[in-house]
Amino acid sequence: MGSTVLRGATIDDVDLILGWIRDLASFENLADEVEATRERIAQTLFGPKPAAEVLLALDGDLPVGFAVHYPTFSTFLAKPGLHLEDLYVRPEHRGRGHGQAMLHHLAALAVQRGCGRLEWTVLYWNETALRFYRRLGADLLPDWRLCRLSGSSLDRLARPAGMAVR
């Protein structure tokens, strides 16, 4: 896997993380959907109650990628899980083992934390990523679809008419 060095991100890495989020969104043709700001990342990742953790991959001293992950829970297993939200390696550093090193680390972290699963989603058209994940032994679950509520849809469901909340 080459010379990959892994370390947890710190608040000093906020600008780097934000840049990679924007790069990833552009690659996924979703740049218009990025609402992340420096301040929001600092608060949600490094504030008093972090929502996720960020793992950085470095080639020597040069940051080349990141993995954002957070805990989940499986009722069927009655165990915690780990969800990989984003895995990104700068294009010029791909194919050198950095992504694989981050996934090995996350798998070890999941085992260490007693997790029953390490899960993530991948865009159906990202054949390079699909091949990469298959090579690592990942199962692609064709019967499952990701559901999402956001923006006004989330707001509407959060305030159903006539429902009392106690």
- Annotated active-site residue 124? The verdict is no
Sheet with 79-89, side-by-side order of all strands: 4-8, 53-59, 62-74, 79-89, 117-120
Judged on CB neighbours under 10 Å (0-12, 13-18, 19+), 89 is: buried
Mean pLDDT of 127-146: 95
Q: How many domains does the chain have?
A: 1
- Look at residue 166 and tell me if it is in a domain: no
CATH assignment at residue 118 = 3.40.630.30
Structure tokens at 130: 């699909």
Please report the pLDDT score of residue 1 as a whole number. 47
Please report the pLDDT score of residue 162 as a whole number. 67
Catalytically annotated residue among 70, 88, 124, 133: 133
- Look at residue 40 and tell me if it is in a domain: yes
- Look at residue 164 and tell me if it is in a domain: no
Domain hosting 137: range is 4-158
Closest CA to 27 of 74, 78, 72, 91: 91
pLDDT tens digits for range 1-16: 458 999 999 999 999 9
pLDDT tens digits for range 44-95: 999 999 999 999 999 999 999 999 999 999 999 999 999 999 999 999 999 9
- Look at residue 41 and tell me if it is in a domain: yes
pLDDT tens digits for range 149-161: 999 999 999 987 7
CA–CA separation, 99 and 111 (whole Å): 18
Structure tokens at 105: 């680390």
What pTM was estimated for this model as a whole? 0.92
- Look at residue 75 and tell me if it is in a domain: yes
